Amino acid sequence: MAYATETAIELLIGDIVVGRAITDSTVPTTAQVATIIAQIDSTLDMALAARGYTAPIASGSDAYNTIVRAANAGVAADLLAAFFPHMAFASGGGPTGRYSHYRKVYEDVLTLINKGGFRTSQTSQISSGSVLDDEGDDKDPLFKRGMMDYPGARSLTS
């Protein structure tokens, strides 16, 4: 299942082709757009699967809409960089304009997936006890039994 679509790509960067429609005779062609769509969709699915998510994401959820937005942005950025580098990079070589925006949208979602902050369902995650930090080491729990006790403390009983 493709997340990105040619129609969405035409909406984002259709002004780069005559008539705002990507065809077999435009640059990029329909086949070239389809290839980049497949590559970006595959990259997103691989990132999801690597973090234990079921890929592809089922349509109709917030997670799906986020992935669709990221895929379309990623495809638009790759097309601008590949076929219109003068629109993607400033004279000094740094990213610029729409390319910069689309690339950031795509990379932000990839970062969210890779850090485990992406939710594919509406279920809650409740952790008890220590959790692991970024290096895989146990973090100390916020509260411990007796942590408010101190020497000489007395409890008042009736």
What is the per-residue DSSP string for 15-61? GGSGGG---TTSSS-HHHHHHHHHHHHHHHHHHHHHTT--SSPPTTS
Number of domains in the chain: 1
Give the pLDDT score at 141.
67
Residue 144 lies in a domain: no
Q: Are 14 and 76 spatial neighbours (Cβ–Cβ below 8 Å)?
A: no
What pTM does this model have? 0.72
Residue 135 lies in a domain: no
Nearest to 105 by CA among 84, 74, 62: 74
129: Cβ–Cβ under 8 A, 6 or more apart, which residues?
Answer: 141
Cα-Cα-Cα-Cα dihedral of 29, 33, 39, 41, to 10°? Answer: -160
Give the pLDDT score at 128.
54
Q: Are 36 and 106 spatial neighbours (Cβ–Cβ below 8 Å)?
A: no
* C-alpha–C-alpha distance, residues 149 and 143, integer Å: 12
Residue 74 lies in a domain: yes
* C-alpha–C-alpha distance, residues 46 and 57, integer Å: 12
Q: Collapse the DSSP code of 69 into the 3-class scheme (helix H, G, I; strand E, B; otherwise coil) and give the result.
A: helix
Per-residue pLDDT of the chain (158 residues; tens, 9 = 90+): 689 999 999 999 999 888 899 999 999 999 999 999 999 999 999 999 998 888 888 888 888 999 999 999 999 999 998 988 887 777 777 778 888 899 999 999 999 998 887 776 544 455 555 566 777 777 776 667 776 677 776 666 66
Residue 16 lies in a domain: yes
**Domain containing 105: what range?**
6-114
